[in-house]
Structure 1
């Protein structure tokens, strides 16, 4: 009998699987966003699509999206291609014409002036009221030069644009809770930048188009003690936003490790394999067999919809706060409340450890296996780099080499080894974050939640105390199966039959493996006379006993 409650399928869009919509149409936050004009970057990504969906449900007037141009596709084609599917089903039931409120602006965060035309730029200057900058290159292994141009210079270009906007209410920047990861306790405040961001941009521009070898040579020493180029550039970007906060009303959101949605607008929706999502899928199909992390490290995971709703709540609170001071003729009274700029969106205080996540998800994958499994899901972990290197050869390299020979003989183009190299590289860049604990102070967000009306707290859920991973885990697994592994709901019986076959294969290999290991040590001991020594010791003990 299953140890888990009946699964609400991630494809079941009944009212039971969606956030409650029995909330009045008029609430303080809903009224604030109604008929607003938004400029959103990163709107085509995982978090960005959630922002688009929620803002459109709040009946904003227009959302301008900055997106890279695609060959042979118009802006309308791209909108119709991206903003459809399960995530937008609830919105579609409310407004069949919601796509008309999405305006795609072709541009590039890594280009000067964002790659926009003068007419596009002027349209934004004349109309935009809220800027939500969620775009960033999140690849940890990307060269520093490229990230400086996209993440740092791109944000500077956005800030320059916001300063010209005639009706701007607030500029919101999505950073990361790990932007100042060298510190153990991270408060909701600005920290000194590791280097002047404008100077870093000039250096990156100077070497633009040239060989990146010089940059790559000095990167490790330049970014130290930051562990990768992504969090380093996030720290630089926050310094740009700090400077801009003297001229533009600004808020910064620092989320921790983002996973699938909790319930808004549907449970466990996700569409990328970054971070924990990818690790769990890779473990579930038997691809990842060994991982490098400390088992008792706190995970600090947060559901994506908590991040999007917290962002919208913080924006509402910031503008409402300013209006309140102006109404009371206290615009010059810089109280502590009005100075809140940075907001942490992290998990509960009783964090789950990676050991607990591993145990829970292992049980889940046993109960709900995958038809796409390559091998039995038996993920192992270690915090010792030497042991990890040895087990990587044993669990990943050797099986991949053998399997790739088989694939080559069958003339298949797919290869396991290149995928293992990518996984290995990604894990090397993330290990630091899976072996260290941080304390994130989150008082600012708590104050915002306390100011929200009860109805707004239901429609914009962002209180992490509502989140329980053990209760949520079965929905999360179905989300991973449905949206990442692309497995239909009705293949569970076939998956369980495959699981039995994989178990037989797995334990058969173990028997053969340990037989040869035992044989190896037997002859090794015999070679060095260990067997004779042990035999003599045993005979002596038996003789002594008699």
Structure 2
């Protein structure tokens, strides 16, 4: 077999359209393409205004991100072109001139954009479905399109305890869902969709279920890959070990526990999480794109990574908090798991309102993924791996069964400190000093609470004794 990369060869002279390029997976795909597939023709990147910044500002800021550090010497502007738009708008908010360019030039689509907030409303979740609908409509008018790659979630069909690599029938069709959303008063939406949502952990996975079915029914004749990642975590290797850029999912829980604002997590003991590093996901997407373009069919890939006991994850991570203490600590780290909702609520009441709010968010994650467990078929996923040559397996690794967990979690702890908390390693001594102070305050506070409880108990005991003596 040739030593050349078949995947790199495939992307030569391709013109790629990416939505969600500012998200974690989108950044990694963009970086990997620019680093290993420089001979591609062009990358069009859809970007909207956000948080007071224009698309042009966000586009400029994107390449100052640490994940692009290893390729900062390259001339990005010769390869990457900004497309101003908004996935929440009709026609993706793209002007007619740019639409014509995309229709004429695009050969590969990476549709990654989605609001991954587990607390989003039905209206917000509907944008995920309507955006997918708009993307399919645009894809059908692209004369040279070779592949449509859609990033879903492994939990899109979580009504089933065992999830196969196929499209499941949704509780309501996407078109009917969108019609109802558009016709209902926004205040009534949650009640309207309650019968459809009752078995889904959150609106995000519900919207992904509908989007998958929409793709199945509407992309006939378009080579399509649906990649379903499980719980995405920090990178294992590329472009930087331990890199992440958001607080969603388990990363948010670990980061919240790290700085001391998440104290307790409600879950079932023995629960295993399906964790998959972000660069494993991006490599799988690129490999699936290559294979799908050659197979010319719709294929689903369950990219579910490695199962790990939640207790084991906590036991491995907790010592790292003290090994790499941060100056951003808000309180001493004292994180516990509980199966008791009563104990969880009592624990939350011990701390400030901010901690209680964050604990509420973590409990929503627990409700979604912390107390349930699924099994997955991985036939297509593994077949993709075995179809790749040795060179591609080295360049685009996504077989994550042999992750060295201790080293990986060490990198994750450092990654949270460096890239989320933006606390450089040079402040480590200050972090250790702060940790020492917070530890003393924490145990003083705990001692004070115990003393108060003992005094209250003693007072009650005296009153009971007096009552009995009377």
Q: Normalising by structure 2, what TM-score?
A: 0.94
- Correspondence list, 1:273-352, <5 A: 273-322=247-296, 341-348=299-306, 351-352=307-308
| Structure 1 residue 381 corresponds to structure 2 residue 337 | yes
Counterparts of 2:253 and 2:64, CA distance in 1 = 26
Counterparts of 2:220 and 2:440, CA distance in 1 = 65
**Do the aligned partners of 1:526 and 1:532 also contact (CA within 8 Å) in 2?**
no
2:72 pairs with 74, 92, 95, which one?
Answer: 92
Counterparts of 2:61 and 2:151, CA distance in 1 = 25
SS of 2:308 mapped into structure 1: coil
Structure 2 unaligned regions, length at least 5: none
- Alpha-carbon deviations, 1:509-541, whole Å to 9, x = none? 2222212211212222332239989xxxxxxxx
Counterparts of 1:474 and 1:482, CA distance in 2 = 12
State the shift of 1:487 in Å.
0.6
SS of 1:437 mapped into structure 2: coil
- The structure with more radius of gyration: 1
| Structure 1 residue 69 corresponds to structure 2 residue 49 | yes
Counterparts of 2:200 and 2:418, CA distance in 1 = 36
Which residue in the other structure is 2:376 paired with? 440
**Do the aligned partners of 2:47 and 2:59 also contact (CA within 8 Å) in 1?**
no
State the shift of 1:244 in Å.
2.4
Which residue in the other structure is 1:335 paired with? none
The answer to which of 158-167 and 58-67 deviates more is 58-67
- Correspondence list, 1:46-195, <5 A: 46-57=24-35, 58-59=37-38, 60-69=40-49, 76-93=56-73, 96-148=74-126, 150-195=127-172
Which residue in the other structure is 1:240 paired with? 214
Which residue in the other structure is 2:392 paired with? 456
Which residue in the other structure is 1:467 paired with? 403
Matched residue pairs, number?
466
- Alpha-carbon deviations, 1:291-317, whole Å to 9, x = none? 111232101111000000001101111
- Alpha-carbon deviations, 1:337-373, whole Å to 9, x = none? xx6610011123xx21111111111111122111111
State the shift of 1:504 in Å.
1.4
Q: Normalising by structure 1, what TM-score?
A: 0.81
- Alpha-carbon deviations, 1:18-67, whole Å to 9, x = none? xxxxxx99421111112210011101111111111111221221111111
Distance 1:429 1:367, change over 3 A: closer
Counterparts of 1:500 and 1:293, CA distance in 2 = 30
Counterparts of 1:267 and 1:306, CA distance in 2 = 12
**Do the aligned partners of 1:141 and 1:426 also contact (CA within 8 Å) in 2?**
no
Counterparts of 1:78 and 1:230, CA distance in 2 = 25
**Do the aligned partners of 2:44 and 2:82 also contact (CA within 8 Å) in 1?**
yes
- Alpha-carbon deviations, 1:105-161, whole Å to 9, x = none? 11111111111111111111100001110001111221112311x100110010011
Distance 1:267 1:346, change over 3 A: same
| Structure 1 residue 500 corresponds to structure 2 residue 436 | yes
Q: For the aligned residues, what is the CA RMSD?
A: 2.1
State the shift of 1:418 in Å.
5.1
Counterparts of 1:516 and 1:98, CA distance in 2 = 62
**Do the aligned partners of 2:16 and 2:110 also contact (CA within 8 Å) in 1?**
yes
| Structure 1 residue 424 corresponds to structure 2 residue 401 | no
